[in-house]
Structure 1
């Protein structure tokens, strides 16, 4: 994920092209010509072993050793067999960035059993040279007038950065974007990503002030899932991020790599990308339309769409598409209806969509649009134009553009047709207004705007108050897992799995166990009534043990057994079937439960699984013994809070059933959310839990009940999203008052307390912290402050019980934001005015310094106003170097925490 030396790729002062020649089929020659045609202002030189004096007018040398000056960037287009040697020589001469366009490096040598790819990595490693590629199309940076690619055309300057894995999709995107007059700040494909990967590039672009949106095309996941999601989450908080992830072919080898209980890898990527707050698109058409809309959209006010056209046919197409996509038609206000009635012919239906009639003129289009954008119930307007004589395409477009430019609402346009519509669409492109060919495309693009807004809202939802769990129970749960691992088992026995749920507060059906048919009969006599019996063996003690028809878990189960004879007969058959398939040491007896019928129970499937790439996942959906439980499989990455758990429930069919049938919808949903949070805590507390399945989980008017459960254990894996660092929590006492308080990492649930804390600050304290007077923070700002990525940022709060006993209050906060390379971390600290002199500042700063030092951060720094003498005094006592920056009129505080060990780190510290 390191961004070291990436600047040399995007802003090089000098470039050497290896393998360029005058031949028309020379890739290096194409790249060199593109650099020349693009007007690259830096120094250019060619390296070619053929010994040319010049290539396309650029000086040429035969080898690296003949270069008078080493370049910032080396572009390698040489034959595959020469690449590793070139990299080795470049590294020895302190070149730190190499772009490899050569393909074919994945071919394995029959003698050495090594690929050229591996040889390139070995050559680069001793010198720390960064590699972009191989097998990529190159990169284009219009702001630096650099086209270092083999693209057939250049790109115009814009605010969108494109990062792809496929070179051919990249060239197609360039061609389309030029036709739509969309420009780019950066454009590159990564190829095989042997070194420079997606997270590193996203981190670089997220800091680029000229990049407002990032467009990511990916075929596969490479590198660390946590680095990938961390980079995406950081970027999506400040920039629009779109991801085109193609579906994966479901071949036998691929299916073998799926997470247990998951039938489609695509569901996992959906869950991961939603959690990162980005918008995923599945086709190139959707990508183009999303870019068209989202790169030109204004801030969304809401999700209600008004549709207006000069005919009901186009309106019907758009409305049908909107309603099928669960979009919202805007309800027009009475004032809008009256104003439109004065404009439209008699017989108008006084509703949305608005039919301007076939005789509509450009003036009528403009007046109707002006009325709609003034309606408070309308958030976005889609204007559809079908070619008619009274409404010429270009003239009508200019009338619509004039109105659209003067409104804060989003206006989308759809000019149907081709011959007479092209000029109109060009006008919209030039004006920066999204335009489409068909009503369906326009509505799909609007729905993508809505989905993006939903993903952003989910990422910033304020969680419900945090509830402290029973730590003693968690210790017992760890012991259960440890016993299984020490015994060499990959599973918990059924009784242990039930005990595990009970320790986490999940209601479990009472189970009884027997080793023989007669033993089951005796248990059934004692229980009375109807019983269920399961034969336990080495397969069904594991979660998600389904065959191709999802029946394996249920074929060793007998239900609704009333009489003794029924029990004896059914269990005898069970025993026969089990003994036929398994040896004695694989059979584990029988589990007996009373049947749980009645009360209109809803059967649910919920659990934990592991994905090979993204690690632990939570599953939720419909369940039971007779349904295809994989058909309604909703996924989410842990850790969860109340807001995320509710989102997971609402995406399932279970939620629709509850809404239709339950008389206590909120109670039922809250109980399910609490259960999901307990499973999320289990994932964090017990990293050895590889899988857990509760099926069925019954929901009825009595509440929840887990009927059957299976748990598997294995070596721990890392969560894709960093969990809450509970181990950093400690209890302190304020120096002067002796008041007891807790020092801990901030949580998303702290948002209400954080707002109250901010409102307690004096105007002077706010000015000291932010260097200017400012108003009350918005929800988005508070979410950014409290819902942090613990891999990149840390905020410690001091929290204490309120004097009236109503919960806790925040007394002080210290924050550190670390760059992606963990070189420098910027701190800030705020203490409530009435807490001054309690020693809270020193305690918080010591905590932060120890934390950053333990993470390997090299430097901690901050700044304060010259009048803030107290902060300067504290910084000196703590060991910071304090100096006045006259240019910025601030006092800078700097502390070295760890020594730099590499050249790039020293350079970064100096800059």
Structure 2
């Protein structure tokens, strides 16, 4: 949904409230009162068929046709059975936005409610009217003086946008924030969000310059998970985003996908990949809001603790260390300065700092001022327990004076209640984050640390892209297609190993036998100790663990030497399969030479498919004798080497490798390469449902897949994050020099070359592109330009081998950003100055025009300075219509790519 269209909801010039009366239980009446109390500056109207003259002084009308003007926004509080008809009449009268506060349209398990909700959608569809709700509390926008909700109190203006799904939790948050003096830029709950959904609203508030942070409360993701992740990733690049994911116990949930312990681990992985921070309780949510609204961006992760007693310091330190936080090391200068004010000459000189119970406000302020100047200290937490010598309010005022002079973060904790409340209020008034317990303060700080880490992961420059040996994708697809044609939901063991081999994942040489005599012959051919596995449909399924995980051992016979042992073991395995699954269940045997020695580590790696977020990569400890679900790291594909390394380093496997590996970086790289190859497999073969390599052996000789299982589905998967569109790459030849090059979508690995490309642009080219002179882009900017969301924008670069033979270089780039409704795409193009005349402008523009047209975009447009005659001429040559915009003082270039097919598209094009 276009964010521009949401202005009708958030900045309406007129509002009509349907179902409003002065009855005590009237929701519409409450909304009217809230709008009046918030000093809504636009036109207010009430609609009620009872024929009231006015509702709380607002003129009331019997029906839509009697309104003196059609409103920008209609707020519907009428009974459920009347809602669809109201929506239909609003649409017929060209009203384009409706907020439904009526409850009961989306109650789970109610057939009549489902029918009513569907009737509302059908009523809106022909007219293009957009619906927010039902079952939402409404919205509050202090910047627009609008309280269009049933909240019992209003909110003050602030910098945090709150978007939730639960109306009651929203009203509780408003009440708490009012008591803390915290304000919001936007506050709304969406209910089920059937039309105006969560991603659309995230996009809107992310573009609001007055919103610095976004707080989301979700029960579950409705609609497209790709849209949700896409919106979160875009927002988190510029705003601090925090998510409360609660567990909706009112909805019956199916069992988690194979290989996934529970839904929470999936949401943790998805939200981390989106660059946001998750909290899980309402307490954490409130504390996180305190942090969001008051703290400055972190410059590091090291914190200094300051208290007038060892007990509170110990509580804070214990919480910090257990959660993986870092105590800041104090410099010698800091220690010496502190020693001069410490009452105890035997002070140990360490962080945390204990000022003793007799610490006066002056001593607190002196110590805080010293700590906050230390370059190794990124934040200071002052913990205060009230005493006669350390009164809370006086100490708070002294610390506030110190905090105001520092650009670094300063947190406070005032333990107690009777005398501590005033101290906390003083800190609140000074916009300093304050908490009741040391643990709360530490948790709040660590939320900021998590956010910083997630942002670093999202923006880090991936390793240089290396073209792997191109796998035989045709053969891989044939393997999957044949299994689907056979009506199977799995690959055989031989097919699974063939698939891994196609992607250059080393597999253990394996022989297959249909009967016991053939097993004996295979063992003879190997000539050494062997391992035998009985194959059947159950162990052909990945992550297929029963409650007694040791049962998997019963399909195996290990360290078998003699012919008699081989025959006996094979017979025992065959009998067990027949006993458990029937005489026709056997799929034969696989026989391998035993692998031992080299201090091998057993790893479990693969992927599975979640019902909400689609494919998920899985990594952790392997083998059959351990709890295979105890160590599970999940990540959304597609990923590159940088993300794969992050996945490995976040696991228990990495901690073991740090202790025992002879070549730590080599081992991490090998494991990461396997994960990247599995990510490529997910993209290439969407009918793969899940895959498990267990165990993947890692030792001095490298890696080796010893066993694998693959399941397939006739339904192709859809990734939550758009994959790299490699199929759009094509080879070209430059016009003047005849130099071979490739035009392809940009990728994260292009960041170093993109910086070199930018540095070769002349100041005039930079001004023509950006409309102003600017310096060298930062890493954050470069990451935003190269690590793009291919669902939202496209950037094509022309890349060619350097003339000195030292790798590729970027010659030019064209970028197109499309609105969410796919109506307009805005382009920009820039070419290296020394390559003018090579035809790159035509090549790049033709590529982006064809791309936008193929994806159904209606119009492509751009703007340039009047002095940029070259761009204007190129645009005219390609078929654009140029016109001068006097207000903006730019030349606008527009080209219609596809004809609109619906009325709302025509309206949007004309706006």
TM class by smaller structure: over 0.9
* 2:564 aligned partner: 565
* 1:439 aligned partner: 438
Cα distance change of structure 1 residues 804 and 107 upon mapping to structure 2, 3 Å threshold: closer
Deviation at 1:909, TM superposition (A): 4.0
In structure 1, the gaps of 5 or more residues are none
Cα distance change of structure 1 residues 788 and 226 upon mapping to structure 2, 3 Å threshold: same
Deviation at 1:516, TM superposition (A): 1.2
1:785-800 alignment runs, 5 A limit: 785-800=785-800
Deviation at 1:316, TM superposition (A): 1.6
* 1:267 aligned partner: 265
* 1:685 aligned partner: 684
Larger mean Cα displacement after TM superposition, 574-583 or 720-729: 574-583
CA distance in 2, matches of 1:825, 1:33: 42
Preserved CA contact (<8 Å) 1:203 1:820: no
* 1:329 aligned partner: 327
Secondary structure of the equivalent of 1:599?
coil
CA distance in 2, matches of 1:905, 1:335: 67
Instruction: Show CA shifts across 1:728-755 (max 9, x none).
Output: 1011111111111111000100111111
1:250-329 alignment runs, 5 A limit: 254-256=253-255, 258-329=256-327
* 2:665 aligned partner: 666
How well do the aligned residues superpose, as a CA RMSD in angstroms?
1.9
Preserved CA contact (<8 Å) 1:620 1:634: yes
Pairing 1:804–2:804 present? yes
Larger mean Cα displacement after TM superposition, 662-671 or 414-423: 414-423
* 2:769 aligned partner: 769
* 1:515 aligned partner: 514
Deviation at 1:83, TM superposition (A): 1.6
* 2:21 aligned partner: 21
1:455-470 alignment runs, 5 A limit: 455-470=454-469
Preserved CA contact (<8 Å) 1:4 1:904: no
Deviation at 1:449, TM superposition (A): 0.6
| TM-score normalised to structure 2 length | 0.97
Deviation at 1:861, TM superposition (A): 2.2
Pairing 1:239–2:267 present? no
Preserved CA contact (<8 Å) 2:860 2:896: yes
CA distance in 2, matches of 1:348, 1:107: 63
Preserved CA contact (<8 Å) 1:107 1:116: no
CA distance in 2, matches of 1:375, 1:113: 61
Pairing 1:478–2:470 present? no
Deviation at 1:669, TM superposition (A): 0.4
Larger mean Cα displacement after TM superposition, 13-22 or 899-908: 899-908
Cα distance change of structure 1 residues 551 and 750 upon mapping to structure 2, 3 Å threshold: same
Preserved CA contact (<8 Å) 1:16 1:47: yes
Preserved CA contact (<8 Å) 1:858 1:898: yes
Pairing 1:829–2:829 present? yes
CA distance in 1, matches of 2:857, 2:582: 56
Preserved CA contact (<8 Å) 1:545 1:553: no
Secondary structure of the equivalent of 1:471?
coil
CA distance in 2, matches of 1:472, 1:369: 60
* 2:633 aligned partner: 634
Instruction: Show CA shifts across 1:209-267 (max 9, x none).
Output: 2222111100011000111111111111111111100136599x6243x2111120111
1:172-251 alignment runs, 5 A limit: 172-247=172-247
Cα distance change of structure 1 residues 643 and 110 upon mapping to structure 2, 3 Å threshold: closer
Deviation at 1:112, TM superposition (A): 7.9
Instruction: Show CA shifts across 1:671-705 (max 9, x none).
Output: 00000000001011111111111001111111101
Preserved CA contact (<8 Å) 2:549 2:624: no
1:109-120 alignment runs, 5 A limit: 115-120=115-120
CA distance in 1, matches of 2:186, 2:572: 68
Cα distance change of structure 1 residues 743 and 779 upon mapping to structure 2, 3 Å threshold: same
Cα distance change of structure 1 residues 774 and 113 upon mapping to structure 2, 3 Å threshold: closer
* 2:337 aligned partner: 339
Deviation at 1:889, TM superposition (A): 3.5
Instruction: Show CA shifts across 1:459-503 (max 9, x none).
Output: 111111112133352222122212222222222211111111111
CA distance in 2, matches of 1:633, 1:109: 34
* 1:408 aligned partner: 407
* 2:838 aligned partner: 838
Instruction: Show CA shifts across 1:413-459 (max 9, x none).
Output: 11222222222211211221111111111111111110000111111
Secondary structure of the equivalent of 1:414?
strand
Preserved CA contact (<8 Å) 1:545 1:552: no
Deviation at 1:381, TM superposition (A): 0.9
Preserved CA contact (<8 Å) 1:248 1:266: no
Preserved CA contact (<8 Å) 1:813 1:829: yes
Deviation at 1:872, TM superposition (A): 1.9
Deviation at 1:114, TM superposition (A): 5.7
| TM-score normalised to structure 1 length | 0.97
Deviation at 1:379, TM superposition (A): 0.8
Secondary structure of the equivalent of 2:472?
helix
* 1:504 aligned partner: 503
Deviation at 1:908, TM superposition (A): 4.1
Secondary structure of the equivalent of 2:630?
helix
Larger mean Cα displacement after TM superposition, 51-60 or 699-708: 51-60
Instruction: Show CA shifts across 1:741-775 (max 9, x none).
Output: 11100010011111111122222222222222222
Preserved CA contact (<8 Å) 1:4 1:821: no
Preserved CA contact (<8 Å) 1:108 1:115: no
* 2:755 aligned partner: 755
Deviation at 1:111, TM superposition (A): 9.5
* 2:723 aligned partner: 723
Cα distance change of structure 1 residues 298 and 113 upon mapping to structure 2, 3 Å threshold: closer
Larger mean Cα displacement after TM superposition, 65-74 or 511-520: 65-74
Deviation at 1:299, TM superposition (A): 2.1
Preserved CA contact (<8 Å) 1:761 1:833: yes
CA distance in 2, matches of 1:703, 1:111: 58
Deviation at 1:906, TM superposition (A): 4.3
Preserved CA contact (<8 Å) 1:508 1:707: yes
1:594-673 alignment runs, 5 A limit: 594-673=593-672
Instruction: Show CA shifts across 1:862-911 (max 9, x none).
Output: 22233322222212212222233344333332222233444544454444
Larger mean Cα displacement after TM superposition, 881-890 or 228-237: 881-890
Deviation at 1:551, TM superposition (A): 4.2
Cα distance change of structure 1 residues 201 and 690 upon mapping to structure 2, 3 Å threshold: same
CA distance in 1, matches of 2:79, 2:5: 25
CA distance in 2, matches of 1:309, 1:108: 51
Cα distance change of structure 1 residues 491 and 111 upon mapping to structure 2, 3 Å threshold: closer
Instruction: Show CA shifts across 1:629-652 (max 9, x none).
Output: 111111101001011101111121
In structure 2, the gaps of 5 or more residues are none
* 1:161 aligned partner: 161
Cα distance change of structure 1 residues 2 and 580 upon mapping to structure 2, 3 Å threshold: farther
CA distance in 2, matches of 1:204, 1:3: 5
Instruction: Show CA shifts across 1:615-641 (max 9, x none).
Output: 111100001011111111111010010
